[in-house]
Amino acid sequence: MWIHKRLIAIVVVLSSMNLVFAAEPVRTAALEPDKPQEANKVQDPNDYRIGPEDVLDISVWNNTAISRTVPVRSDGKISLPLLNDVQAAGLTPMQLRTTLIKKLGDFIPAPEVSIIVREVHSFKVSVIGEVKKTGRHELKGRTTILDVLALAEGFGEFAARGKIVVLRPAGEHMKQIHFNYNKVLDNGGSENFYLQPGDIIVVP
């Protein structure tokens, strides 16, 4: 009898444990849309997107008539023999290469195309507000918000360092990304993030 009661007690304990485990909520990590963690989702240099005023080296193997160095016009297009105008802005070099191979395939059998971004002029960001040197900066590569604040030669006397905002173009709207300079210093720079073309840093 005592063995039977003991088994019943064990079953009751196990059942109560299962209820406790079932009631425990599953926690998942989430990023808030205005946090620096989301500010730079794509950090691979190969994902650079071509923009107006960039200069491209386009080489078509064994075809010097088409191979040339071309600027990206303000409308985002480039001009090439046979193809006339081709949209380049907004594409990665690999995407543009795929486009050119497809279009040239109507004129050249199995074209081999390579694209090199010779000069970057479309990567521009601005700094306004309580900094010593406001203005627009033309960047040559991936640059963090701290780098650009350094280009602005530091903060003004009344700068609210904990309330900096980065305005980022997002379609027809501007997305706000909050940046706390003081918190970055406390965390050893972990809140620092890379900027994107068109970003505007506002220091209140």
> What is the per-residue DSSP string for 136-196?
EEE-SS--BHHHHHHHTTSB-TT--GGGEEEEEEETTEEEEEEE-HHHHHHTTTTT--B--
The domain 122-203 is classified under which CATH number: 3.10.560.10, 3.40.50.10490, 3.40.50.10860, 2.60.40.10?
Answer: 3.10.560.10
Burial (CB < 10 A; 0-12, 13-18, 19+), residue 35, is: middle
CATH of domain 49-119: 3.30.1950.10
| Residue 187: predicted pLDDT | 79
Query: Is residue 19 scored above 80 in pLDDT?
Result: no
pTM, to two decimals:
0.67
| Residue 17: predicted pLDDT | 39
Query: Is residue 147 scored above 90 in pLDDT?
Result: yes
| Residue 189: predicted pLDDT | 73
pLDDT in tens, 153-196: 999 999 999 999 999 988 888 999 999 999 888 877 778 999 99
pLDDT in tens, 79-125: 999 998 999 999 999 999 999 999 999 999 999 999 999 999 999 99
CA–CA separation, 79 vs 28, rounded Å?
49
| Residue 93: predicted pLDDT | 95
Q: Any idea where the domains of the chain sit in the sequence?
A: 49-119, 122-203
